[in-house]
Amino acid sequence: MVRSALGQRSAAIGRGPRAGADYVPASTVLIGSMVSLLPIVSSTGWWPDWGLMLLVAWRLLRADAWPAWWAAPLGFVNDLIVGNPVGLSIALWSAIMIAMDVLDRRTMWRDYWIEWAIAALFIGLAELAQWRVAAILGASVPLSMSAGPAIIIGVLCFPVAAFLAARLDRWRLGR
């Protein structure tokens, strides 16, 4: 709603997007990938992938957060930072962008629960792909011990990512 002239706060008039607003979404995804640089030495790998969660949160919020193809370079950086096999996030994140384009065309209306369900689907598929790739590379761990808990924790943490994306969106657009 750009009816700021009618709003309470007249100071809102003349405030536009911040400088570099176009690059805020992509850089928050980068920062999300960098969460894995925190000096946490954990014996399990159940923590959520913040890069992926912020990517999904931004894409659910806006289709024009970044040009769709930026998912590939962002995924490459994520692979290098997190230490995944190179190519895993590139392929996954590009596929998520394409799937979201299709979803945007097929769905007319969606509420928060549907968005959460879509995000849960993407997070689940991503964790399963990671688990499968680890198995191919010689580390076939039972599902209940790696991908299962990781999916549950990731899905439960997604609202935090969605909240962050929504607040950052308002901040970058100066609303």
Partner 1 sequence: MAASAGPRPGWSRRAQYSLFFSFLAVVAGLIVGLILLILSLVAPQSYATVRGAALDVTAPITGALSEVTTTVTGLTSGAGNYWDAAQQNAELKRQRASLMRRMVEARAILEENQQLKAALQLREQTSKAVATGRVVGSSFESPRRFAVISVGSSDGVAVGMPVRAPEGLIGRIIEAGMLASRVLLVTDRANIVPARILKGGQPVISTGRGDGTIDVRPLEVGKNPFKPGDIIVTSGTGGLYPPLVPIAKVIRLDDDGAIAIPIADPSRVSFAIVEAPFEPTALAVAARPDSEAP
**Beta carbon nearer to partner 1, 11 or 137:** 137
Q: Please report how close the Cβ of residue 17 comes to partner 1 at its closest, in angstroms.
A: 14
Q: Residues touching partner 1: how many (CB under 8 A)?
A: 71
154 vs 55: CA distance, rounded Å: 13
| Chain residues 102-121 in contact with partner 1, contact rule CB under 8 A | 103-104, 107-112
Footprint on residues 1-30 left by partner 1 (CB under 8 A): none
Query: Could you give the CA distance from residue 159 to residue 7 in angstroms, rounded to a whole number?
Result: 29
Which of residues 4 and 153 has its CB atom nearest to partner 1 in the complex?
153
Q: Say whether residue 67 binds partner 1 (CB under 8 A).
A: yes
Q: Which of residues 37-66 bind partner 1 (CB under 8 A)?
A: 37-50, 59-64
Determine if 174 is a binding residue for partner 1 (CB under 8 A): no
- Of the candidates 160, 158, 107, 150, the residue with the CA atom closest to the CA atom of residue 126: 150
162 binds partner 1 (CB under 8 A): no
CB nearer partner 1, residue 4 or residue 46: 46
38: exposed, middle or buried (C-beta count within 10 Å: 0-12, 13-18, 19+)? exposed
End-to-end CA distance of the chain: 10
Q: Quote the DSSP letter at residue 8.
A: S
